[in-house]
Amino acid sequence: MEVHLRQLQESGRCSQEGSHELFFSEKPSELAEAQRICGGCPVKVLCLEIALRDRHEWGVWGGVIFWDGQPYHRRRTRGRPRQSEAHLPIEADTRELWEQVKSA
């Protein structure tokens, strides 16, 4: 496990771009920016695997938002969702995420 964490620290875009606070923000816009940074990360799948395995409670890991231990595709703002975002899923299916990790 230590090798995996070292690989994340050395190769992850999160360690090269932006503030680490961005990945643990409560603001949906900042979480979306963190997800954008994860988008092209070479260790994205490994990061998600570690987050699922270790049951991380908070933060953006492998491009997925973990909030109170539940994975989400995105974090909604307060109030009604925008019409343009109404069709987008919020919660992520943990089984599907594990399948993505296994197939990578």
Q: What is the pLDDT of residue 25?
A: 92
Q: What is the pLDDT of residue 58?
A: 92
Asked which of 35-44, 74-83, 90-99 is least confident by mean pLDDT, the reply is 74-83
Report residue 32 as tokens: 């979306």
The pLDDT confidence band at residue 1, using thresholds 50, 70 and 90, is low
The pLDDT confidence band at residue 77, using thresholds 50, 70 and 90, is low
Closest alpha carbon to 44 in 98, 1, 101: 101
| Euclidean distance between CA atoms 58 and 67, whole angstroms | 5
Rama region for 86: left / alpha / beta (φ>0; ψ in -120 to 50; rest): alpha
| Euclidean distance between CA atoms 102 and 99, whole angstroms | 5
**pLDDT tens digits, residue range 57-68?**
999 999 999 988
**pLDDT tens digits, residue range 23-46?**
999 888 898 899 999 988 998 999
